[in-house]
Amino acid sequence: MKKETVLLGIIAILVVVIAIIGASYYRNSTQPAPATGSGPAPVNEALIRPDSPSVGPADAPVTIVEFYDPECESCAAFHSSIKTVMKEHEGKVRLVSRLMPLHPNSALAATFIELAGEKGKYYEAQEFVFKKQPEWGTVHGPASTVQPDAPAMFDKYVVEFGLDPAEFKAALSENRYAKRLERDMTDGRSLGVSRTPTIFVNGRVLMRLSEPDLRYLVSQELSK
């Protein structure tokens, strides 16, 4: 009987410890964005600029801000998870997109997306570029000795997507979106963004890139 009592006591302690670890995990995986400056205003500005592309209601109770690189394989892979979670809470979640061009062909792809954005097709272009990424993106691993001709690929994509080839070439030659891209990069670094994708949900950093964690954080914010 004494051994059984001791065993039950040990089990009870283990249950409590597991519960504490679980709670701590979720707290640590959803940290708030670091403050910049002396008050909250700079943080909001660094997360969302007035001209930052967005989809979803402007007054949605939850805003997802994603710093992404169009040439980033993880960004392309996680894209469907963001869409899924947004669809699950349609009308209650807004997505704001910030560009962090960190790869060799990222600025080229970003120019394509930004130009399409001027035509009201930012997110269609983003999806298009992610879908085509295996064709134009930097190749890693054993095949890395043969790199795709990204400029030539985008010359074809412009026609396929329905943009004006002359306007695209002009945007590239004049670095039309350089200041906006640099601003997004600066804002991202000020918030501690060092990799893509980095996602904030109402200003809280999603520490682990997983659909269940994103769903949990969005649901948590909606329940407030």
Strands (E), 130-172: none
pTM here is 0.80
Share of the chain above pLDDT 90, in %: 75
Taken in order 192, 79, 146, 161, the sign of the CA dihedral is negative
Q: What is the pLDDT of residues 132-168, one digit of tens each?
A: 999 999 876 665 556 789 999 999 999 999 999 999 9
Tens-place pLDDT, residues 8-33: 455 445 444 444 444 444 444 445 55
In tens digits, what is the pLDDT along the chain, a chain of 224 residues? 444 554 445 544 544 444 444 444 444 444 555 443 333 333 478 999 999 999 999 999 999 999 999 999 999 999 999 999 999 999 999 999 999 999 999 999 999 999 999 999 999 999 999 999 999 998 766 655 567 899 999 999 999 999 999 999 999 999 999 999 999 999 999 999 999 999 999 999 999 999 999 999 999 999 99
Joined together, the tokens standing for residue 129 give: 């570029």
* Dist. CA 34–CA 29, nearest whole Å: 14
Residue 220 is encoded by which pair of tokens?
């948590």
Burial class (CB in 10 A: 0-12, 13-18, 19+), 132: buried
Query: What's the one-letter identity of residue 213?
Result: D
**Which residues, at least 6 apart from 153, have a Cβ–Cβ distance to it below 8 Å?**
132, 135, 136
Element (H, E) at 30: strand 30-32
Mean pLDDT value across the chain: 85
Residue recorded with tokens 């963004």: 193
Q: What pLDDT, on a 0 to 100 scale, did the predictor assign at position 18?
A: 44
pLDDT of residue 99: 98
Q: Are 185 and 100 in contact (CB under 8 A)?
A: yes
Nearest CA among 196, 201, 206 for reference residue 223: 201
pLDDT of residue 7: 45
- Residue 17 is predicted with a pLDDT of 41
b/e map 51-87, b = 16+ CB within 10 Å: ebbbebeeebbbbbbbbbbbbbbebbebbebbeebbe
- pLDDT, position 122: 98
Largest CA distance in the chain: 86
